[in-house]
Every structure is written in structure tokens, then in C-alpha cells.
């Protein structure tokens, strides 16, 4: 991927989580800020319908890839995931403004938006590359569908309950048969998402690797494994009443016994821009509450309990 220079940015796409209450106000702030810097603003179609700002060009997310130099996403991590998958092949860098909950990817607070962006447009920023996965579903030798995943590819049981049986291969090697609720194939970005809740390892984004994490395996010896990004994973559904495959939890495909899922690293990556001073470990401490004492807040909780008991007497 060619080197990125913020000085070359002339056209900026703006995408918002348009169904969020109150989203119009920060979007208007952002569009006004960019226009005041002399940048051409292109609003994503649904975003434009919410903000109703005259004078700005509009385009779908897919169309933004051919008409902007940078995209700024106002929303949660899910919004950025969806936009990133569509823009990655166009090599469009992304900035995330957090209007969601945790904000692992949308790391700029809404209150700091103008301050952070001013510094970034002055060249005070960090450029980070994040890998994607490409997954295909093959049935009886015919490819049914394919898609990209920024977080993870998940194969799991459907709504009828019951474990599913899977056969896992890596490269030319057979690895194991797995009886479980499913399996998560996660990028380093996705290692702090669903995979982490299934006891998978946290993988730093700079590591070109991905992890396979069983979901509630029948045999407790089935453990997560981290592999290099040059490998190809093949997962075959050997037995299942009902099974589904998901890309980032946002698109899915129903699976049948005998289906093969072929997963490998995508040939392009997602380029994220962060404010200067961004630190991955600091983000983990903040979002996951590392370093906090298990006893922190105990006295406050005890006092609140005592207050409730006094009021109930």
C-alpha cells in the first residue's frame, strides 16, 4: 500500500450512524469544520438524509471509494467495521469519532472532535494498517458466496440448539475435528471482540496473525491457536442440524453439512488514522479497566447498600 500523506487530502467523506438519536448535530459540526478548512465534503447518502445540509455532494458508501481521499466515521465500532470493509480495497484511510459505547476503533471522543482533527490535519497523527480476512463458502465444488471480515469470521450453531461438528485444516495439514457451539476466526482487531469473550488471546494489531477460537467446545482440550497470516484455513461442516456463518456479525450465510469455508488474509488492509499519542495498551487499560484494584469502589458500594437498608426500615 502506498504511503499516506495528510497534506494530499482534498476530499473527505462523512459517514454517520444515522439511526442514532441526536447524530445530526455532531455531523453538522464535522461538515462545517471540514468546509472551513477548505476541504470538499461528500456526505454518505443516508447520513445526508439525516443532516439535511444543503451544498454538499452525496454518495453511497461504495461510491465514496472512488471520490474521496479520506473518510471520517461518526458512530460506534460496528459502523466503522461496515464502512471499512467497503472502502479497504480503495485504500481510503479512516478516522473514527466515537458515538457508540466502547470505541476500540472509533477512538476520538465526540467532545474532542475538532481539537483532535485540527492536530491530525497539521500532521500530528499515527497511521496504522489493520488486516482483513476473506472467507468463501463452497458447496459441492461451487462457490456460493464470499465476503470480507475486519473483526472475525464466525461459524456457529443456529436457533435449533445442539452442537455442530467441524473439521479444521490449516494449509495442507489436518488439525482437528471440533464438536462445539462453533468457532471464531479472528483478526488482531477482532481479538478484543467476540473472540475475547470466548477466552481467545488478545493479539496486537501490528502482528500479522489471526486466531482460531472454539466456542464452548465439548472437549476442554480444544484450545485457541494463533497462526501466521500467510496460511489458509479450511473448515468443513461435518454434522449440523442448523449452522450459520457470519462476517463481523453483520452479514451471514446459512450452512449445510458438507459445506467448506475457506479463509485467508485479504490482499489489502484497512488504514486507520489516530491522533498523535494514541497507544494501544493505554486503550486496553481504559476500555478493559486494566490496573484497577478489585477492591476499588468497595467502600462506595458498601455505603450505598447501607443507605438502601436504612431507607427500607
Residue 239 near residue 261, CB atoms below 8 Å? no
Going residue by residue through the chain, which has 313 residues, state the pLDDT in tens, using 9 for 90 and above. Answer: 567 889 999 999 999 987 888 888 999 999 999 999 999 999 999 999 988 888 899 999 999 999 999 999 999 999 999 999 999 999 999 999 998 777 889 999 999 999 999 999 999 999 999 999 999 999 999 999 999 999 999 999 988 778 999 999 999 999 999 999 999 999 999 999 999 999 999 999 999 999 999 999 999 889 999 999 999 999 999 999 899 999 999 999 999 999 999 999 999 999 999 999 999 999 999 889 888 776 655 556 666 666 776 666 5
pLDDT of residue 103: 82
Q: Which residues contact 179 (CB under 8 A, 6 or more apart)?
A: 163, 164, 165, 166, 217, 218, 219
Annotated active-site residue in 77, 107, 152, 248:
77
CA 106 to each of CA 84, 101, 114, 209, 312: distance values in angstroms, whole numbers, following the listed order: 12, 10, 15, 22, 43
Nearest to 40 by CA among 28, 64, 57, 15: 57
Q: How far apart are the C-alpha atoms of 196 and 176, rounded to whole Å? A: 22
Cell of 223: 484450545
For the whole prediction, is pTM greater than 0.75? yes
Q: Active site includes 69?
A: no
Q: How far apart are the C-alpha atoms of 114 and 261, rounded to whole Å? A: 44
Nearest to 46 by CA among 70, 79, 4, 78: 79
Nearest-5° Cα angle at 274, 270 to 277? 140
Reported as a single tens digit per residue, the pLDDT across 57-96 is: 999 999 999 999 999 999 999 999 999 999 999 999 999 9
3-state secondary structure of 86: helix
Taken in order of first residue, the domains within the chain and their CATH numbers are 6-123 (3.40.50.10330), 132-266 (2.60.200.30)
pLDDT of residue 159: 80
Q: How far apart are the C-alpha atoms of 211 and 215, rounded to whole Å? A: 13
CA 153 to each of CA 73, 85, 250, 261, 295: distance values in angstroms, whole numbers, following the listed order: 23, 13, 10, 10, 37
Q: How far apart are the C-alpha atoms of 120 and 111, rounded to whole Å? A: 16
Reported as a single tens digit per residue, the pLDDT across 259-298 is: 999 999 999 999 999 999 999 999 999 889 888 776 655 5
Amino acid at each position: 500500500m502506498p504511503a499516506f500523506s495528510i497534506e494530499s487530502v482534498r476530499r473527505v467523506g462523512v459517514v454517520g450512524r444515522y439511526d442514532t438519536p441526536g447524530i445530526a448535530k455532531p455531523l453538522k459540526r464535522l461538515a462545517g469544520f471540514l468546509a472551513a478548512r477548505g476541504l470538499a465534503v461528500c456526505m454518505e447518502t443516508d447520513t445526508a438524509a439525516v443532516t439535511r445540509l444543503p451544498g454538499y455532494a452525496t454518495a453511497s458508501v461504495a461510491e465514496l471509494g472512488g471520490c474521496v481521499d479520506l473518510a471520517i466515521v461518526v458512530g460506534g465500532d460496528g459502523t466503522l467495521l461496515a464502512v471499512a470493509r467497503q472502502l479497504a480495497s480503495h485504500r481510503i484511510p479512516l478516522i473514527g469519532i466515537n458515538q457508540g459505547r466502547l470505541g476500540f476503533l472509533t477512538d476520538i471522543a465526540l467532545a474532542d472532535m475538532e481539537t483532535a482533527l485540527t492536530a491530525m490535519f497539521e500532521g500530528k497523527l499515527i497511521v496504522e494498517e489493520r488486516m482483513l480476512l476473506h472467507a468463501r463458502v463452497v458447496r459441492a465444488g461451487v462457490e456460493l458466496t464470499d465476503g470480507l471480515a475486519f473483526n472475525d469470521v464466525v461459524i456457529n450453531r443456529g436457533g435449533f440448539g445442539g452442537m455442530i461438528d467441524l473439521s479444521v485444516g490449516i494449509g495442507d495439514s489436518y488439525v482437528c475435528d471440533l464438536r462445539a457451539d462453533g468457532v471464531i476466526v479472528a483478526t488482531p482487531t477482532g481479538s478484543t471482540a467476540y473472540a475475547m469473550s470466548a477466552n481467545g488471546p488478545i493479539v496486537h494489531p501490528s502482528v500479522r496473525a489471526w486466531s482460531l477460537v472454539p466456542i464452548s467446545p465439548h472437549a476442554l482440550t480444544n484450545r485457541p491457536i494463533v497462526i501466521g497470516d500467510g496460511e489458509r484455513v479450511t473448515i468443513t461442516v461435518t454434522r449440523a442440524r442448523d449452522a450459520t456463518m457470519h462476517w463481523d456479525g453483520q452479514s451471514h450465510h446459512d450452512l449445510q453439512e458438507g459445506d467448506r469455508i475457506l479463509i485467508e488474509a485479504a490482499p489489502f488492509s484497512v488504514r486507520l488514522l489516530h491522533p498523535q499519542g494514541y497507544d494501544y495498551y493505554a486503550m486496553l487499560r481504559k476500555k478493559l479497566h486494566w490496573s484497577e484494584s478489585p477492591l476499588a469502589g468497595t467502600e462506595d458500594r458498601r455505603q450505598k447498600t447501607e443507605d438502601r437498608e436504612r431507607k427500607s426500615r
